[in-house]
Structures are given as C-alpha cells and as structure tokens.
A and B are shown apart, each in its own frame.
Chain A
Amino acid sequence: MNITMKMKKMAIYSLFLGLLSFSSCNMFQIDNYDSPSETLQGEVVDVATGDPILTDQGSEGIRVRLTEVSYGDNVTPNPDFYCMSDGTFQNTKLFKATYNIRIDGPFIPLIREDESGVPIADETQTMKVKGTTKVKFEVQPFLKVEWVSEPTVSSGKITAKIRVSRGVSVADFQSKIEPMGNYSSSFVNVTDVQLFVSYSSSVGYRARDERWSSKIEYTGSAFNSLLGQTVTIQSTGTIPSGRTVFVRAASRINYDTPVGSGTRRWNYSEPMEVLIP
C-alpha cells in the first residue's frame, strides 16, 4: 500500500521534472515592458480659416490611422479610430514610439498618388509620441456648412436654414485631385444636404434618429446655384413635444475618401440644441 503510494508520487515528480526542464525560462519572468500610456492629442483645422473641421464620430467621420514606423518593414497599422465630432482626436493608450499619423476625411487627401502608385504628395505627419504629444493637421475641407439662423419649430417639425459653401475652390480641388487620375468634373458636385436629429448631443450620421432626420438630394451640378445661398430643410415625422433634441446639418460632394472606398464623407455644421414646445 505504502509502496504504491510512493511510486505514484515518484511518477508525478518525474513528470513535473520533465515538464519543467523542457519549458522556457521566460515563463517565470514578469512582463516588465511599460504599459501603453502615452497620449496623442490632435486637431484637424481648416488651413484657410483655422476653424476646426467638424465631423461625425464613426466610420463615416474623420479616420485616424497610426502606423508605428520604428517597428520594421511590414507594419500593420494600429486599429483605426475616429475624430470626435468637434474635429479633435485623442488616444491615451499608446506605446512610446514613432508613429506615422494619417487622417482621412472630407478634405483634400493628405496622401496623393498618381494612377500607377507614384507619390505626388504626402502631408501625413511622422512624430515621436512621448508623454502628451500634440499634432495639428491643416487641411482643405471640401465644404463648409453653417447655420444661417436658429432653427424654428412648428408642430413637431424643425425647419433649419443653412448655408453650404466650398472650403476649397474648384480650381484648387482640380489641381490637387486631377493628377491622381480618373478625374471627373462631377467630383465637385454637391450631392445632398442632410439634417440629422437626435436626442443625443453627439448627433451626426451615426447617432441620428431615423424617424426625424431628413435629407435633400441633388443630381448632377444642380446644387451649384445654391452654393453660398440659404437652403431650407425640414425634419420628417413629428418630434414629441416637451423634448429637447439636437440637430446638425451636413453636406458632401461626389468624391470619396480614401479614393476607391466609395465612402463620401460629410462636412458638418455645429450641433444645436432645440426645444420642442
């Protein structure tokens, strides 16, 4: 009885001994690499006016792509993240390293290549992120969307007066985009004006309430005569009275960023709070 017990113990010991001697010694070390705690703060502004580029938080907004270039030849970018709706972004969990920072949004692309992939321009920024690092991108937005007056409310419908104007002239747009190939004069056409309504203050395409948000679509260059003019747009459905909602107007041109994605991103107005009486 006693002997068999001992044999069993022996067997277990020798098994453990075997396992341990074959395993890596790293197994016993503590991961002493610093946790990712560096902060990158960025803002995206209009190069002409210094105004922030307002956007939507989500994959239709301004995309921020970080690529750690010190890592090696074949780097996969970090997971993408998106600007906040006021056109700023922040990532507080980065490793101390050198990053290439690229943003894509409703503005002239920072990276421009011709049809065969030959670089024409690269306005991305590469910097060492350490502590709190700030970065500022000065871009040329496609459009500028502004409120002309306070939205008015009547029987649960919001009527907004907005003005859409070009942030970059057609000539300037063409001079920068045409060398990328496949240029079409239809790129600069304004295709639609949107009025997003939501209970949330972070109102935008993603946070819109489909019951009340509305849009006006324009074919071809039909909007050209309305550039800089007052456009009136009304919400749909009936918003219950006594509620406070937030509204934003947005507009976009017939050009996708990044090229080939088919994603046409909107330029936005400031959000506005509206009380439904």
Chain B
Amino acid sequence: MKMKKIFIFPLLFVLLFSSCYDLDIAPKNAITDEDLMTNDAGMDIYMARMYSYMPFEDFKYMAQWGITYRGWLGCFGISGTGEAVNRDGICRTFTSEDTPYWSGAFTLLRDANYLLETLPKFKDNFEEDMYNHYLGEAYYVRATVFTAMAKRFGGIPLVTKVIQYPADASDLEVPRSSEKDTWDQILADYDKAVELMKPTSPKSGYSNKYVALAFKSEAMLYAGSVAKYNETVTGHLTGLGQKTGVRVIGFADDEWEAASKKYFTEAYKAAKEVMNSHIYSLYKKDWKANDPEAQYQNMVDMFSDLSSPENIYVKEYSYPTTGHAIDGYSAPFIFRAPLSSGTCPTLDFIELFDGFNRYANGGIKVTDGNSNTEGNYLMYDTPMDFFKNAEPRLRAYVIFPGDEFKGKNIDIRFGVFTGSSPVKPLFSDYSYANATSSYYQNLSAYKNKPKTLYLSSNSGASQELVQYNGDTITASGENGPFYGNGESCITGLYLRKWLNKNPSFEAADGKSEQPFILMRYAEVLLNAAEAAVELSMAGVTSPDGDDLLQVATDAVNDIRERAGATLLTSNITSDNTGRDIVRKERRKELAFEHKTKWDLRRWRVLHYEGRDGFWGEERDKDIYSSNSNYRFRGLYPFFSTATGKYFFDEHFQAISLKTFSYSPLDYYFAIPSGEVSKSLVIDQQPNR
C-alpha cells in the first residue's frame, strides 16, 4: 500500500507544480531567419532544402510513382511512349501518378514565397548581385513548381504569397486559376528569374539566367502546344470549374490562337537567347566527321562528362548517400544486380533512326519480300551486321545484339532454328490482333517432334541445348530472351544511354552515381526549332528578324551532324511535314530522358484519334492500335544452324506483353479527390 503512495505523490507533484519562470530566450535548437538569411552559408542551406524538393525528373523519378524521390527502379521510357517496355506493372501509360504532385508542391511554394518576402529584410547583408540572384532562384523555383503542376492538371491554385496560419478560410483557400492565367504566371515568374539571376551559377548546383531561359522555353513550348492542339481533340478539352466557374482546363475558342502564338513566341525568344549567348554548345569532344565509331563514342561519353559544354543543368549523385539504381534495374541480364532489363527499347523506336533497309511502308526490313510475312529471312553472319550502318546516335542509346558493353559481348538470341535454309517467316500473321495468341513457344516448329526450333524458358539449367558443328550451344543467348523470364532481354534490345560503362563497376541498388542532365543544349536547339516552325505555320513574323525556317533547319542539322544522321538537304517547310521533321528529331535525340512523355502529351497524339502522329512522324496507328489500346514490338534474333547465320523476326513484345491504353481524359490528370472534397473552392476537372 505504501508503494502506491510513492507513485501518486510524484505524479501529483508533476501535475500541480508547474514552473513559474518565464522562458524568454530563443530556443537554441530552432533555426531562425537571422541564421539563414543573413549570410551566404545560411542561404546555401535554404537553397539546398528547396532544391532537394524540386519536382525534377531524374534518376529518382518514375512516371508511375510520381514525384517521390525514390530511385530504386531506375528506368526510362516505359510509360507508353514507345521508347521501351519492361515486365513490371510500372510499365504503364502516363495517365496518373500514384503520388499526385499536389501537397508537396505547396510545401515548396511556401519556401519560395517565404524567401521572396523575407529576404528583403536582410538586403544589406548581401552584395547586390547575390541578393538579386537569391530572389531570382525563388522565382525560378516557383516557376518550376507551377510548370510541373500545370503540365499535369492545367489551371492550378497560384499561391504567390506566404499564407499565414491561422487565418480566415477565405485567405487560406486559393481556388484554381484558369489554365491561361497559370501559364501567364509561369511566364512572369521565369521572366523575373531571368532578370534577377546571374549569368553563371555562383556555385555548383545553383541555377543561373540561362538555366531559367532554357526551362522557360521548355515550359512555353508546352503551353503553346496545349493551346493549339487541344483544338484537335473532340470537345477541345476545356470547361469551367463547377465551384468557381473558372476555365480551369483548356482555352476558350476566342483565346486559344492568340495564347498559342504568344507562348510559342516566348519559347522561341528564350531558346534563341541561350543560343545567342554562345556559352553552350553541342558536345563534340571525340567527334570526327565521317567516322561513325568516333561519333558513337562521342555520344556515349557526353552523358557522363561533367565538363560537357552541352550541359546546362545537371543533377549529381554520390554513393552511399544519394545514389540511384539505373544500373541495378536496367543493365543487361548478365550484369543482374539485383535486377535487370528494366529498359528494353522497342523495334518501333529504332525504326525512327537512319541506317536500316526498309520495306515500302517504312518498316525495317528483315525478309527479302515486300513485308515481314513475305519472302525469306535475310541472313547475317553476326547479329551486328544487321546494324552495321545504323545511326551512331542509336548505337550510343541502345545496345544491339552482339554489341559490346562493359567489356563483354552482349549475347542476345531468342532461339536456334535447325530447319533448312532459306528460312520462311515463322508466323503467317504478325498483326496486332494476333499478338496475344502467337508466341514463339506455341509454334509447331517448337512443340512438335522432331522440332526445328529451340527456345529456352530461362537461363542456366533451363537452357535447351542444340548440337552445332560438333559443339553444344544453348538455344537462347546469355541475356535471353527467355520466354519464361521477364527479366531477360524481352525486346531483343537493351538501353545503353546513362548506364555505367566502367567494366570494374559492380552495380547494386543505390550504388550508381552517374549525373543526370536535366537540361542540355540540344533541347534548347530543338525548342527553338519547334517554336520557329509553329510560329511560321501560324503566320507570325519572326520575333528577332531571323528566318524562322532557317533557324529550325540549322538546329536540326546541327543535331543530326553530331548524331551521325543524314542531313537535311533542303529547308524545313512551313507545314505539318516540316513540323514533323522537328518532332521526330526531338523524339530521337531526347529519348530516355523523361521528356518524350510530355512531348506526346502536349502534341495530343496519345489518344486513338490523334495517334497517327504518335511517332513524331505520320505512321498508320492501326498497325499497332485497337481503338484506345496499343502495343509495341521487339526485334528478335535467331541463329540458323543450316547456314551458321543469324536472322531477325519482328514481333509484338513476345514476353510479358504490355497493352497500353489512352483516352482524351488523360491529357489532364484528375485533381486528387480528397483535395476537391475538403475544399469549397478547389474544382475537379470539369470533363471528369
């Protein structure tokens, strides 16, 4: 009993005798404005925080997840853009993000707005140019956040001041602005950033005037395209918010044209200003004219060379604190650590590039007939012979079967054919509709006995063995494709771009530290070119007096020359054909950089009715589509024992087949429903 009292007394003591001292000193563990905003070292910390929350799409971004800063499945181009596919559920059309970019955006906006409102109090602590630069950074951060949101949602709440809390609901709640006002605000913020920031970054990681200009041109190109190409979609993708009556998506019939011209003009001018500064140039350190090998090596090296004059803004990583996993997920099967084959480029993608024999319809030729169902397979001594004239840029982006990577031959072979030569196409029907029922392992040549086709369901002991010239060879290559293993090379092609090419590097989750180039000069050239053609088509006179079509032609040719591609021999024309030359170049050059999915979105070429323009050039969508659904193909090498040569088969993704789907609604993501239901002013998309 006594023990009880012993307990109760201290309790009473604690509850009843509270302190009577006033604690009137600043808490030592809280960081104040004076700590951060009175000196450059403090500002470094403030900037570091803002930059760590930027909605950058780098190695730690995945379309399916959204802005979550997680990099353990590093891969590119798998969100229904046709660049690549893989086996996993993350290989899905970009129609929403698991974590919508909403609340995280407002946190960062607050940081930017707080800086804009508070730094003027400490103006005297800084040199004037640094003071201005810091303010410029805040505008740049704000513009970046607004752009990331506008690309996803259209009109957004334009929070341009620090909202004090607590306050009236009317002060706390900011409704969505119209899409037009949103892009106008973005334009104004970029312009402020350009005006205030230094021409060179004061420190590594900071931005500068030209970084802002480059991103401005990207954002304005998006805005101009949306204004123009919304008109190509039934219903024009516009409507008024139910709660506010504001045009939260799209543009009114009487304003889209002027808006589109204005944004394209801004995109053009911003890109031209970067070009005219002559600070940046295309990376050509190892480049040599008429030397495909040097041109290839040059484009391999440029993505990891931090001293590249092409880099405008780069994100760096370091192991063990901030590593990523592009090598841990997207390297070839033989380098599996712990995963592999996360980015398998498609046949449809490589069809964009020069250096292949073609059928009349533009498809890459694999038989001597008029299509891939006719004639006999073309035979090659080695798989690389098939690619011997391929555009050097493609070889720098994609590992071909039999090419070298990390000191090893990348052995890719779907199977071995032991039947007689010449070899007829393995299937009679390669159509989209037949893709789900015509797999190699279902062929009678494989199933019947004696069989003439050998395939493997997996690596190692599962490999089927074939006698050839007194030797025993495996049916499939070291990297597959293995029809029972989605972690093998499921399209016959691998990604090379971004992968660590050092043979001594051993990949693992989070061990990769290659830098990611968020903005490079090639994109600026392409932004200028595309805006120029669009302006020319809209009948706008050149904003700077330069010949618009000449600017576009030169930009495309500069990029093609560096890439080792065929140069344009005549000027780009002011029509859809001319525009498509620029679009196709962009799709090629900027592949596997998280950019293409936004390009397809702003061109409005993802839904079925617009899908003929999906590839940047006109291609018949019905070859790979069925209404809203679409699929991509692989290029599968086979070895023929009768000839000792290789042949290639073109087939819809034969392992882990992905069917993508897109409808016009997806051009604007839904506002997170929780945000709509808890707010009296936040509108859902009116067309949903």
Query: Which residues from chain A sit less than 8 Å from chain B, CB to CB?
Result: 3, 6-7, 10-11, 14, 73-74, 76, 113, 115-117, 181-182, 205, 210-213, 215, 236-237, 254-256, 258-264
Q: How far is the CA of A115 from the CA of B686 in the complex (A)?
A: 13
Q: How far is the CA of A213 from the CA of B625 in the complex (A)?
A: 12
Q: How far is the CA of A73 from the CA of B680 in the complex (A)?
A: 8
The smallest C-beta distance from A133 to any residue of chain B, in angstroms, reads: 25
In the complex, which of the residues B11, B429, B626, B664 contacts A210, with contact meaning CB atoms closer than 8 Å?
B626
- B541 lies within 8 A of chain A by Cβ: no
Q: How far is the CA of A215 from the CA of B621 in the complex (A)?
A: 14
- B7 lies within 8 A of chain A by Cβ: yes
- B673 lies within 8 A of chain A by Cβ: yes
Known contacts: A211-B436, A262-B237. The answer to whether A10 contacts B629 by CB under 8 A is: no
Q: How far is the CA of A256 from the CA of B236 in the complex (A)?
A: 10
Q: How far is the CA of A264 from the CA of B679 in the complex (A)?
A: 31
The smallest C-beta distance from B241 to any residue of chain A, in angstroms, reads: 9
Chain A residues whose CB sits within 8 angstroms of the CB of B433 once the complex forms: 210-212, 236-237
Q: How far is the CA of A3 from the CA of B6 in the complex (A)?
A: 12
Pairs A–B under 8 Å by Cβ, sample size 5: A212-B433, A255-B235, A259-B687, A261-B235, A262-B234
- B253 lies within 8 A of chain A by Cβ: yes
In the complex, which of the residues B245, B677, B687 contacts A261, with contact meaning CB atoms closer than 8 Å?
B687
Contact between chains at B677 and A263 (CB < 8 Å): no
Chain A residues whose CB sits within 8 angstroms of the CB of B163 once the complex forms: none
Chain B residues whose CB sits within 8 angstroms of the CB of A76 once the complex forms: 673, 676-677, 684
Query: Which residues from chain B sit less than 8 Å from chain A, CB to CB?
Result: 3-4, 7, 11, 233-240, 243, 245, 249-250, 252-253, 429, 431-434, 436-437, 607, 626-627, 629, 663-665, 667, 673, 676-677, 679-680, 684, 686-688
Contact between chains at A116 and B240 (CB < 8 Å): yes
Contact between chains at A256 and B680 (CB < 8 Å): no
CB closest residue in chain B, given A213: B626
Known contacts: A6-B3, A73-B680, A76-B673. The answer to whether A256 contacts B235 by CB under 8 A is: yes
Q: How far is the CA of A74 from the CA of B676 in the complex (A)?
A: 9
Known contacts: A76-B677, A261-B664. The answer to whether A182 contacts B236 by CB under 8 A is: yes
CB closest residue in chain B, given A118: B245
Chain A residues whose CB sits within 8 angstroms of the CB of B686 once the complex forms: 258, 260
Contact between chains at B676 and A262 (CB < 8 Å): no
Chain A residues whose CB sits within 8 angstroms of the CB of B664 once the complex forms: 256, 261-263
Known contacts: A74-B680, A205-B627, A210-B432. The answer to whether A259 contacts B665 by CB under 8 A is: no
CB closest residue in chain B, given A73: B680
Chain B residues whose CB sits within 8 angstroms of the CB of A6 once the complex forms: 3
Chain A residues whose CB sits within 8 angstroms of the CB of B436 once the complex forms: 210-211
Q: How far is the CA of A116 from the CA of B246 in the complex (A)?
A: 9
Contact between chains at A3 and B627 (CB < 8 Å): no
Q: How far is the CA of A74 from the CA of B242 in the complex (A)?
A: 11
Contact between chains at A259 and B235 (CB < 8 Å): yes
In the complex, which of the residues A10, A181, A262 contacts B3, with contact meaning CB atoms closer than 8 Å?
A10
Contact between chains at B663 and A262 (CB < 8 Å): yes
In the complex, which of the residues B7, B236, B253 contacts A14, with contact meaning CB atoms closer than 8 Å?
B7
Contact between chains at A261 and B7 (CB < 8 Å): no
Chain B residues whose CB sits within 8 angstroms of the CB of A256 once the complex forms: 234-235, 664
CB closest residue in chain B, given A14: B7
Q: How far is the CA of A216 from the CA of B253 in the complex (A)?
A: 31
Chain A residues whose CB sits within 8 angstroms of the CB of B432 once the complex forms: 210
Contact between chains at B437 and A211 (CB < 8 Å): yes
The smallest C-beta distance from A267 to any residue of chain B, in angstroms, reads: 16
Contact between chains at A182 and B253 (CB < 8 Å): yes
Contact between chains at A260 and B253 (CB < 8 Å): no
In the complex, which of the residues A3, A211, A213 contacts B434, with contact meaning CB atoms closer than 8 Å?
A211
In the complex, which of the residues B7, B11, B233, B429 contacts A262, with contact meaning CB atoms closer than 8 Å?
B233
Known contacts: A74-B679, A117-B240, A210-B433. The answer to whether A258 contacts B7 by CB under 8 A is: no
Contact between chains at B239 and A259 (CB < 8 Å): yes
Contact between chains at A263 and B663 (CB < 8 Å): yes
Contact between chains at B7 and A260 (CB < 8 Å): no
Q: How far is the CA of A151 from the CA of B676 in the complex (A)?
A: 49
Chain A residues whose CB sits within 8 angstroms of the CB of B687 once the complex forms: 258-262
Contact between chains at A262 and B677 (CB < 8 Å): no
Q: How far is the CA of A219 from the CA of B224 in the complex (A)?
A: 27
CB closest residue in chain A, given B607: A262
Q: How far is the CA of A225 from the CA of B138 in the complex (A)?
A: 61
CB closest residue in chain B, given A3: B3
Chain A residues whose CB sits within 8 angstroms of the CB of B663 once the complex forms: 262-263
Contact between chains at A261 and B3 (CB < 8 Å): no
The smallest C-beta distance from A127 to any residue of chain B, in angstroms, reads: 21
Contact between chains at A7 and B253 (CB < 8 Å): no
Chain A residues whose CB sits within 8 angstroms of the CB of B239 once the complex forms: 259-260
CB closest residue in chain B, given A75: B677
Chain A residues whose CB sits within 8 angstroms of the CB of B437 once the complex forms: 211
Chain B residues whose CB sits within 8 angstroms of the CB of A261 once the complex forms: 235, 664-665, 687-688
